[in-house]
Amino acid sequence: MGYAELIERLQALPQEKQVEVFDFVEFLSARSGGVGSKPLAHGEWTDAEFSVMALQQALRGIEDDPVAYTRDDLKEHWQ
């Protein structure tokens, strides 16, 4: 499929479907880092960086918690 055929098919779609196609193209572009994805401003985080930070914050201090369960508390044992 060439560019001209793609544009022709896009123009044949109803307006709301054209908007969906545009949104999907923006999504693909942002995911692949292509044209249309805006560069991050100084101090902004990527989604991956934010996820790591959020998980670290949620679990902070848990390493100091005492272990409350033993093997005797398990209902099933995997071998």
Give the pLDDT score at 61. 81
37 burial type by CB count under 10 A (0-12 exposed, 13-18 middle, 19+ buried): middle
**Rounded average pLDDT over 11-20:** 87
Banded pLDDT at 59 (limits 50, 70, 90) = confident
Residues 67-78 as b or e (16 or more Cβ within 10 Å = b): eeeeeeeeeeee
Distance from C-alpha of 11 to C-alpha of 17, rounded to nearest angstrom: 10
Q: Which DSSP state fits 64?
A: G
Q: Is residue 38 predicted with pLDDT exceeding 70? A: no
